[in-house]
Amino acid sequence: MSKRIIFAGGGTAGHVEPALAVANQLQILEPNYEISFIGTKNGLENQLVPKAGFPVSHIPKILLPREISLSLLNWPFKFIASIWQGVKLCRKADLIIGFGGYACPPVYLAAALLGKPVMIHEANAIPGWANRLGVLFAKEVFIAFDSPAKRIGKWRNAKLIGMPLKADILNNHKLAGEERLKVRSNQIEKWRLSPDKFILLVFGGSQGSRHINEAILQSLSFFTENNIQVVHSVGRNNPLPTSTENYLPVPYIEDMAAAYTASDLVIARSGALTCAELAAVGKFALLIPLPVGNGEQSANAQDLKNSGAALVISDNKFNSDWLIGNWSELVRSANGYQPKPMPDTSASMVISRAIIKRLSE
């Protein structure tokens, strides 16, 4: 009999891409498994999951109010309704695995009510509230970062496996010689840029960053005067600036593996997925942690900073003046960076095998 596995999570690429990496690997190992996703109506999962060939169902996005208001009084009723929706979606599942995000809390509770086995993967160095709830019900817990926050309670038994990444990202570090030059040349040609000039890759996560966007736009004259080419992912919901000979703005970068290969330096936020990808491809970066949530982006960046793979600047200090004044140091660091070899076993394979083992018991 075919097994049914539900992947819960979404909102941003940091939740969706790791889930898809595991789903794709699991489908290769067990083609007869029925794999589906639960997300919210407005998350990035609605573009990426169907494109990967998996169905996605929706659950209401219930935000926990951060201050006393009428919405706080209504919240328990809305949350209970979302749990009931989760019960209906998970009733026939054999296993639920969550990756964090707004869809996860009601799904975790629904799985607990139904007695379904739950697994979770926590991508950030500091867990969000969804997986802090999920860990209470999880049969197995996987983490991408080791941190003090994960050495207490059920987190103590978590397996440190790194981040599930797409196959093309994992294969990037294996490229050598002519093969790497070919990937780089093809991508630069697609961008219609020059292979003889420095290429800066800028992105602020899947949703973009207005603060980073402003600093880059204010630095364009400096980049032009110094023959620096900029590929700038501004975010799907942000205005697209005018392109020039040396400046290529895009809403979103689909092929990140090729983009990393073609670039000489990266400027980005320090979401868990970005940090894991940078480590996998061996690319030096300037990281600007997003100052929200529980400080997870600052914690995410520390491993790369400590290994010499990144410089980290706080959001309130980063601007065009800082960038121009520190540009020479950034280029020297990028040119001198020697990446560490990556392990052969992928996190996607580890989780997939764990799912298969659990379902065979």
**pLDDT tens, residue order, the chain (361 aa):** 689 999 999 888 889 999 999 999 999 999 999 999 999 998 889 999 999 999 999 998 877 666 666 666 777 888 889 999 999 999 999 999 999 988 999 999 999 999 999 999 999 888 888 999 999 999 999 999 877 555 677 888 899 999 999 888 888 777 778 888 999 999 999 999 999 999 999 998 656 688 999 999 999 999 999 999 999 999 888 889 999 999 999 998 989 999 999 999 999 999 999 999 999 899 999 999 998 777 789 988 988 999 899 999 999 999 999 999 999 999 999 999 988 777 666 899 999 999 999 999 8
CATH top class, domain 4-164+346-360? alpha beta
The three-state secondary structure class of 285 is strand
222 vs 233: CA distance, rounded Å: 19
Three-state helix/strand/coil letters over 318-342 = CCHHHHHHCHHHHHHHHHHCCCCCC
Average pLDDT, the chain: 90
Does 4-164+346-360 match 167-336 in CATH topology? Answer: yes
Q: Which CATH superfamily is domain 167-336 in?
A: Glycogen Phosphorylase B; (3.40.50.2000)
pLDDT reported for residue 151: 64
311: CB partners within 8 A, 6+ apart: 285, 286, 287, 305, 326, 329, 330, 333
Question: Which residues are bridge partners to 95 per DSSP?
Answer: 5
Domain boundary assignment for the chain: 4-164+346-360, 167-336
Strands 228-233 and 198-203, how do they pair?
A: parallel
